[in-house]
Amino acid sequence: MSQSFEVQGMIHSIGDTTEYGANGFTKREFVIKLTGDNENPAYPNHIALELIKDKCAMMDNHKLGDEIQVQFNLSGRLWSGGDKGEKCFTSLQAWRVTSASGQSPSSSYDQSSASSYDQSPSSAASSSSSGQAASPPPFDDNEYDDIPF
């Protein structure tokens, strides 16, 4: 099973749906320019993703320049070409594409609602209602640590 990831970006290009083989396998590729908080606009990252089978229609609702959230699986496979040696193919297979403005609550973690473990429920509620994130307790070198490393 491959691992799932999520990125945010602006649609740079959208390819046509292409059919491969006699069994009707379909694939559609698209490219986004990453726009998340950790991206440096001076060094843009363009990422090619693909939609397969019934997921190809997901890009019909989007156009170039749209800001989107993409959930995808990272997968890879080896191909042996006889005397040509082995080659590794990596795919970013999208399984959900949504407008960035329509994010689901589970895709964005709100630190202001998190509380540190030593706060009582009433103090955690007051710090999150004031709009400030709860801060962890200070580290104490003299505190007993039972971790062996």
CATH number of domain containing 76: 2.40.50.140
Angle at 69 between CA 67 and CA 72, to 5 degrees: 140
Closest CA to 77 of 59, 60, 62, 90: 90
One-letter amino acid for residue 101 of the chain: S
- Token readout for 67 is 């800001």
**pLDDT per residue as tens, the chain (149 positions):** 567 899 999 999 999 999 999 999 999 999 999 998 889 989 999 999 999 999 999 999 999 999 999 999 999 999 988 888 899 999 999 999 999 986 443 333 333 333 333 444 444 444 444 444 444 445 445 454 455 54
Confirm whether 80 is domain-assigned.
Answer: yes
Confirm whether 128 is domain-assigned.
Answer: no
**Residue 7 confidence (pLDDT):** 94
Confirm whether 94 is domain-assigned.
Answer: yes
Confirm whether 70 is domain-assigned.
Answer: yes
Confirm whether 57 is domain-assigned.
Answer: yes
**Residue 84 confidence (pLDDT):** 84
Confirm whether 19 is domain-assigned.
Answer: yes
Closest CA to 6 of 76, 92, 90: 92
Question: Structure pTM?
Answer: 0.63
Confirm whether 132 is domain-assigned.
Answer: no
Query: 45 lies in which domain range?
Result: 3-102
Work out how many domains the chain is built from and give that number. 1
Closest CA to 96 of 59, 66, 47, 48: 59
Confirm whether 120 is domain-assigned.
Answer: no
**In 1-149, which ranges are E strands?**
3-14, 18-20, 25-34, 46-52, 67-80, 86-99
**Residue 1 confidence (pLDDT):** 57
